[in-house]
Structure 1
Amino acid sequence: PALARGIDAVFVDLDRPGSPGASVAVIRDGDIVYSRGYGEAQIEHGIPVTPHTVFHVASVSKQFAAMAVTLLAADGALSLDDPVRMHLPYVPEFEPAPTVRQMIHHTSGIRDQWQLLAMSGWRLDDVITTEQILGLMARQQELNFEPGAEYLYSNMGYTLLGEVVEAVSGMSLAEFTQARVFAPLGMDRTHFHDDHEHVVPNRAYSYAPLQPPADAAAPADAEAPRYRKAVLSYANAGATSLFTTAEDLARWLDNFRHANVGGPEVMQTMLSRGVLNNGDTIPYAHGLAMGEYRGLRTIGHGGADAGFRTQVQWFPEVETGVVVLTNVANGNPAGRARDVADVVLAGSFPEEEGEEGQEGGAPPAADDAAPPETPGPAALAEYAGTWYSPELDALYHLSVSEGRLVARHVRHGEIVLEYRAPDEFATDRWFFRGVRFERGGDGAVGDMRVGGGRVRNLRFVRLTTPLPG
């Protein structure tokens, strides 16, 4: 009862009619010691979340794509140090060539699929198929960096891992993981799918909070909807698209204890961290982030797609796993998982409460620097024109409007480019964060490079012949 009261208190804000919800499961020494649902899986129909509600778990999926590849390596069907192109010939020839292992650790330099798609005009609630993603991959001419030089998260790498599984095993990622991982572990409500029209029994849909009305003084209508649907139409698997329950994921976490699936050697490989070319070790293993909480080691991952927010954490020293799955964009599963761990592992932490996360030092200095003066219209006109990316097959039209440089895209509309430094601009769009123009030896504007986040220096060329119309 004390355990139940403590865990239930973590989810009290979601435990009401008309609210999206959460599912929690805790496994300790091989036994699920607590599992419960809170709130609603489908607000429209008042369907409650239960421990058996199926959630899309977003990037928590990655460890299963990594597990599939790790099992194939243990079978001798591939080497983790194989160049990706050995198994997927449509991957362009890069020198040096990214390897399977580097994709697992996000050190391949391969650009991220979601940002490439957004830059080329997609919305993330569009139907996005594996074929479309692979088509983008095949067009890539450059990497973000030399393979092995850095860590930079790439969903594209994990989509490609799913394709490697199929190329090597002859089974889809869904079929392979079902046969080799989910069925042996009794994960009966777990599967991958890459069909956005697939019917999933007992599933949760995802939501996001509605913004409060601009007139804050107006009385809140108790009957007014407080959430909107967050649409998910992904038709691709590997980086995402695992559908599962909190209890099934708890059974998976327990495999780090008993290694019944894969055996000790495979599970140890799953925990091997990436190593950069300079010898530095990164805190990311096989689809798993390695960390620490209050003096205990943690192995886990989070996920965020549409309104789904998910977190799994395994505490190996105390053989305890915590799973929190939510279907609302502000669900904060990582914070809730820590709060659940505080309840479940009370008395087991080497460090006292409050030691974790303390930061000292002076507050950051205020940035009092004046913004740089924007060049005049004549100077901005140097950048005007129609710019084309061969890697995206996408066009942006740049023009000067009301003294500002503006990029226009058929789907994204107008994007204002704010001047930052000579030939450098910034925008408020996550996928188009930084814009830099390169100049030739004659001083004339040459290529445009766009990036920020998980795509760097994507090249656009100015078309010399204006498009008709």
Structure 2
Amino acid sequence: MTEAERVDQLFETWNNQDSPGCAVAVMRDGNLVYKRGFGMANLAHGIAIGPATVFHSASVSKQFTAFAILLLSSEGKLSLDDAVRKYVPDLPDFGVPITLRHLLHHTSGIRDHWELLSLAGWRYSRDLITDDDILAVVSRQQDLNFQPGDEHLYCNTGYALLAQVVKTVSGQSLRAFTSARIFEPLGMRHTFFRDNYAEVVRNVADGYVKTELGVEISNTNFDTVGATSLLTTVEDLALWDENFYHARVGGPDVIAGMLERGRLNDGSEIGYASGLGIGTYRGVRIVEHTGGDAGFRSDLIRFPEQHFSVAILANLGSIVPSDLARGIADIYLADVLQPVQEPAPNTFSQPDANALELLTGYYTEPRLAGGVARLATHEGKLLVGYDIEYGRYALEAVDDRRFRFSDFPNYEIELEQQEGQPATELTSYLDGKRRYQYRRLPAYTPSSKELADLAGCYRPVENDMPYEVNVTEAGLAFKSVKSQEITLTAVAPDHFLGDGDRFTFTRDADGRVTGMLMNSGRIRNFRFERL
């Protein structure tokens, strides 16, 4: 069986007229050695996907925004150490400088605009979202997630702001600038930043998601660029990819800048450069970025030492292009990839039900803004979940106090426990390196009076969308006019979990409830005041 035939097999699931699918391109030594489409670009009209099908590429867009910034820097029109407010004065003054470099590396501490918009009432991919909308919610931010440069936390807002910087410095929209300076010189004839969601685009794929009712359309509704909204094809991405070897556009210095990893204030290097992730796969260096918006998924992965790359653009939300791209690399680069390290067989006897029960409960890590881990049992197995109400990942014991994730054996946890007593601490490890230490929370069930004391109307201090906290049969529920109701699960007095978010009610010196703090994946200590 040829390499191409083996690649075909990876995509066989979507190779029919009843399913969305993806376009695939494989590049080796500057040549397109494989390109094909699988599934349908438009189910309603029976239009198949091909290598020339145009897709929304989601966060794969970020590398092009970063490239535009580095082009302007190379021409002396800006410095990466310039303060963002020099070019975007609507950004609040947080009392500390936030630079373009911080935005490029996701180290700014600014909150992510998708979550800010959601809290302000926007419904993702249903209500129109514009650059002005993003600037409006960003301009009302009162706090940062952390001091700029202290941490790396992925933030779409940074790249939306960088698009505004390009516009201010060049006098052109990001779309016009990148088309003239990047896409046209490279012959990327079907690539551009879409800044009008209603624009008619030839040969463009619709996005889809699977639901209980079947496959449904799931398109973006964005008039915003920078962090997302690049339309492209896998054939055009092949032309872009080759520029990293020959630097026809930008020159060697810009290419080198694209691959320079960010550094934190403590001097440590992160795995993110300018719109690109730098890492390894099976012992070989890779440069990669994925994307996901609505029903679209994407991945562009490069193996620079092997001059080998894979581009995948998909229009079904359940497709995982990064896994498929690695599967393609397994086929073409089998002679250079290191063998997959199989976990050592686990012969340790698993604890009985009584022993597992002593481990169950909630644990919290203060360094993660009150992040919570929950251990629970199900059908004789220990499960762990982070910031969710029920365990998500199965664990298996490897010694008396240490467990590894059944599906991800390089992740482990260790429990601190006295003989016959409930565990008191949980420490997480990745590849044997200690990461976080959680302390067990005492078991807690709020009384009906305690719940009633927390019920009321709360307003985010950074927008005007009121939220109701109501007492229900399940406990507390959190809802606004435009959001779905979130059930809140108590983990400690005044501390609750809901839909992956953490809610902490605040009180004054007399014990009266005055507000609430919300923590989620990309927002920390977002404040609500009680009305």
Give the TM-score taking structure 2 as reference length: 0.80
Any conservation in 2 of the 1:376–1:403 contact (CA below 8 Å)? no
Indicate the residue corresponding to 2:471 in structure 1: 400
Moved more, 98-107 or 368-377: 368-377
Structure 1 residues 2-29: Cα deviation after superposition (integer angstroms, max 9, x where no partner) = 2321221111111111111111111112
| CA–CA separation in structure 2 for the residues paired with 1:37 and 1:24 | 6
Any conservation in 1 of the 2:28–2:309 contact (CA below 8 Å)? yes
Instruction: Specify whether residues 370 and 260 from structure 1 end up closer, same or farther in structure 2 by C-alpha distance, changes over 3 A only.
Output: closer
Unaligned ranges ≥5, structure 2: 363-442
Any conservation in 1 of the 2:21–2:41 contact (CA below 8 Å)? yes
- Considering fraction of residues, name the structure with more strand: 2
Structure 1 residues 277-333: Cα deviation after superposition (integer angstroms, max 9, x where no partner) = 111111000000111112210001000111111100011101111101111011110
| CA–CA separation in structure 1 for the residues paired with 2:189 and 2:144 | 39
Indicate the residue corresponding to 1:436 in structure 2: 504
SS in 1 for 2:290: strand
Amino acid of the residue matched to residue 167 of structure 1?
T
Aligned residues, how many?
444
Indicate the residue corresponding to 1:420 in structure 2: 491
Of 462, 470, 477, the residue aligned with 1:391 is: 462
What's the CA shift for 1:408? 2.8
What's the CA shift for 1:359? 7.8
Indicate the residue corresponding to 2:218 in structure 1: 230
SS in 2 for 1:175: helix
Indicate the residue corresponding to 2:389 in structure 1: none
Any conservation in 2 of the 1:273–1:286 contact (CA below 8 Å)? yes
| CA–CA separation in structure 1 for the residues paired with 2:344 and 2:490 | 34
Moved more, 368-377 or 43-52: 368-377
Matched, 1:455 2:523: yes
Alignment of 1:68-217 (within 5 A): 68-126=68-126, 127-211=128-212
SS in 2 for 1:325: strand
What's the CA shift for 1:413? 4.5
Indicate the residue corresponding to 1:466 in structure 2: none
Any conservation in 1 of the 2:506–2:516 contact (CA below 8 Å)? yes
| CA–CA separation in structure 2 for the residues paired with 1:384 and 1:8 | 56
What's the CA shift for 1:403? 7.0
Moved segments of 4+, more than 4 Å: 357-368
Q: Quick one: percent identity of the two aligned structures?
A: 46
| CA–CA separation in structure 2 for the residues paired with 1:176 and 1:358 | 49
RMSD: 2.0
| CA–CA separation in structure 2 for the residues paired with 1:370 and 1:150 | 29
Q: Which has the higher contact order (CA 8 A, sep 6+)?
A: 1
| CA–CA separation in structure 1 for the residues paired with 2:190 and 2:209 | 25
Matched, 1:52 2:52: yes
Any conservation in 2 of the 1:27–1:251 contact (CA below 8 Å)? no
Matched, 1:445 2:516: no
Amino acid of the residue matched to residue 448 of structure 2?
P
Instruction: Specify whether residues 312 and 143 from structure 1 end up closer, same or farther in structure 2 by C-alpha distance, changes over 3 A only.
Output: same
SS in 2 for 1:13: helix
Any conservation in 2 of the 1:254–1:321 contact (CA below 8 Å)? no
Any conservation in 1 of the 2:474–2:487 contact (CA below 8 Å)? no
| CA–CA separation in structure 2 for the residues paired with 1:379 and 1:14 | 52
Any conservation in 1 of the 2:290–2:298 contact (CA below 8 Å)? yes
Matched, 1:286 2:278: no
| CA–CA separation in structure 2 for the residues paired with 1:17 and 1:103 | 42
Structure 1 residues 98-120: Cα deviation after superposition (integer angstroms, max 9, x where no partner) = 11111111110010011111122
Unaligned ranges ≥5, structure 1: 213-225, 464-469
Instruction: Specify whether residues 358 and 296 from structure 1 end up closer, same or farther in structure 2 by C-alpha distance, changes over 3 A only.
Output: farther
Alignment of 1:198-277 (within 5 A): 198-211=199-212, 226-277=214-265
Instruction: Specify whether residues 358 and 136 from structure 1 end up closer, same or farther in structure 2 by C-alpha distance, changes over 3 A only.
Output: farther
What's the CA shift for 1:259? 1.0
SS in 1 for 2:245: helix
SS in 2 for 1:5: helix
| CA–CA separation in structure 2 for the residues paired with 1:136 and 1:271 | 31
